[in-house]
Amino acid sequence: MDISKTSDITDFFIICSGNSTRQVRAITDYIKEKLKHLGHKVWHIEGRQYALWVVLDCGDIVVHLFHAPTRDFYDLERLWADAPQVNLESDAEK
């Protein structure tokens, strides 16, 4: 989501989910390692311990990684419904 016109904290939200807390932790670790490999820094990670809602602060991008039922409950997509959606090309599509 492009929130650059509605927020001063960041430019983009990435919202994704895992089907278990173990999967959420694994995705969190993968994102952190992949960004490090690409030369980017994750400034702060919050929520990894319980892995129901993990937030990775990457500066211009904030990643919200949810356990699926928690994502449904908080429904950030509805809260930020005015923000334009941005489609990301996956590695498999490159």
Looking at the chain, how many residues does it have?
A: 94
Residue range 12-80 in CATH 3.30.70.980 = no
Both structure tokens of 88: 């990301």
pTM for the full predicted model: 0.86
Instruction: Domain ranges for the chain, please list them.
Output: 12-80
pLDDT tens readout for residues 23-56: 999 999 999 999 999 999 899 999 999 999 999 9
Give residue 90's pLDDT: 57
Sign of CA dihedral 60, 63, 34, 89: negative
The predicted model gives 4-33 an average pLDDT of: 93
